[in-house]
Amino acid sequence: METIKLRPHHLLCTQGYSGKGYSKAFVSYMDAVVERLRNNEDEKVEIVFTTDNLCENCPSKISNGVCKSDDKVLRFDKGVIDALRLDEGIYSYQELIAKLDEYLASGVEDERLKKICGDCEWYPVSACWKNIKTKKYII
Ligand code: SF4
């Protein structure tokens, strides 16, 4: 199976996702991706600083590398890049989210997460902070 390509802020979305999304196709693909990431300790991901596998099935993708919400999502990506000092490349998904969740949980409540993506439309809908705080998907 091919390595899943993820843009940096999707390290957050893949933990917060709780079955809701932009379209039927998006939700069904997201279900398959999170199932794989959440259940395989050794799963590797390729971090890309552009549109990724999840964007492929999203109605907001305009073209390769361009999302309708770039004003927000590029800022979300940068927040995660800075928190983890990330470069593009292959990583262990578990190692990345363990490091990221550690960083986020060391602030006061969800202040660090909110600083990265608090104005995302899914923030009040999904279980982002709850899952990160409880380290729900750390195997
Ligand atoms: S909203 Fe943009 S960044 Fe998020 S999955 Fe869709 S295309 Fe990708």
Q: How far apart are CA 25 and CA 2, in angstroms?
A: 19
Nearest alpha-carbon partner for 126 in 16, 4, 13 = 16
pLDDT of residue 94: 98
In the chain the first and final C-alpha atoms are separated, in Å, by 21
Per-residue CA distances from 48 to 110, 121, 136 (Å)? 26, 23, 24
Which residues in the chain land under pLDDT 50?
Answer: none
Q: Are 33 and 137 in contact (CB under 8 A)?
A: no
pLDDT tens column, 83-94: 999 999 999 999
pLDDT of residue 28: 97
Pocket test for ligand 1, best of 5, 9, 29, 51 (most atoms within 8 A of CB): 51
Residue 123: how many CB atoms within 10 A of its CB? 16
Pocket residues: Cβ below 6 A from ligand 1: 51, 54-55, 58, 60-61, 67, 69, 73
pLDDT of residue 105: 96
**So where are the chain's domains?**
4-130
pLDDT of residue 45: 98
pLDDT of residue 9: 98
pLDDT of residue 134: 96
